[in-house]
Structure 1
Amino acid sequence: ATEKILNKAHVDVKEFGGGDICCGAPLFFAGDMDGFKKKAEQMEKLIKEKGVKRIITNCPTCIKMMKKHYAEVGVNIGVDIVHTLTFTKELIDEGKLSLKKVENKSITYHDPCILAKDLDISETPRIILKNIGYSLREPAYTGKDAHCCGGRTKVGDRNTRDAISNMREIELKETKATEYVSACPTCKDVLKSLQMKDIAEIIGDALE
């Protein structure tokens, strides 16, 4: 979906990541800081080898790792890294993308923990969804107060993760929206019983 958006805006972009290329977040969350540092150093080397100038990703965790935690282990990748949402909003504001309207559809946006709490990105997705014509139905806890999907505990206790995700599912279902959306691949996977979509999919479907 992100590729569709970038192609529509005629953005010259090359694929970077996937496969064995990882920011090292699982190692960080597991407390393996030596392993995490090695991953960070590998990423730094790869970025320099490929001549990367800016990184666009739909994963909030990757952004936090590279922007904050790499520095804690003495690694500086030296490039800007932004979420797909931020970049898409730039394209819309510059007139490089136009979105068609939907009618009679309601949607609930689930705020990913890192995106809302650490990166302070919560209004941008709502602005875009409203511009597409969705009626936004907010759960009881949103923005910086939003409850976690449970994804952060994937490397820990499964029972705890399931309890957290079940609680969040109930909160989201209470909105009785026709669609549910987030902006984090982990949230989408953990909350898949709601047929959760990534916001890039919603934007991609609305492109004129």
Structure 2
Amino acid sequence: MRLLAVAGATAAGLGLALSAAVPAIAAPAKSSATVSAPASVTEGDTFDVTVTLHGAVDVYGFEAVVAFDPAVAAYVDGSAVAPAGGFDSVHTGTGTVDLASTRLGTSPALSGDVAFTLRFSAVAAGSTAFSLSALSLVDAASTVTASTNDASSPAVTVEPAVVTTPTPTPTASTDPAGGTDPADGAGSTAATSADDLASTGSDVLPFALAALALLVVGAAAVLVVVRRRRTGDAR
């Protein structure tokens, strides 16, 4: 195992010294484990999954595999947070994250509650649980103990992202009666139409006056001719 290579290099010397100076160290153990995660997230969000080993005894290193549905979530590279004072290594597979952690130098073995956190991104709508599918514990003498009593989180529901549609900008329109729809511009179009009509009227007025003058002159000429004919007939 990769963990044995890492832990062996850092703990072999310390294990030999301890074996010569003190009685044999108890094998590493834990009483239970839990996996916690949010109940619901939105597509595109990131969220944390925390694995906690409760009642740990003489844990100098461990290797844990967390499994999940890769169609729903993805591990965020470099996001693992393990107990301080050790060396950590993360390997990912399809739907798995494998975290190996070992103490360094004179760092004491871990006891009590031991926790590590992994960050994920919600890549698609759906749901997935996060399961501690495998766990191995290592003591200071590099003895490996496969642990039982694996745990799983409740299903995490990924909700679809909300897509907002831009509201179209209202434009002015004329109704069939020649007016303006009040909802489209509060009379701005009506004012424009009135200005256009006023301009058109002022342009036509000279021509109308000229035509009227011609009509008056023509009528006067007709009256003159009629009167001359009547005068001639009278003579």
- Normalized against structure 1, the TM-score is what? 0.21
- Normalized against structure 2, the TM-score is what? 0.19
Return the structure number with greater strand share: 2
- Computing the radius of gyration over CA atoms, which structure comes out larger, 1 or 2? 2
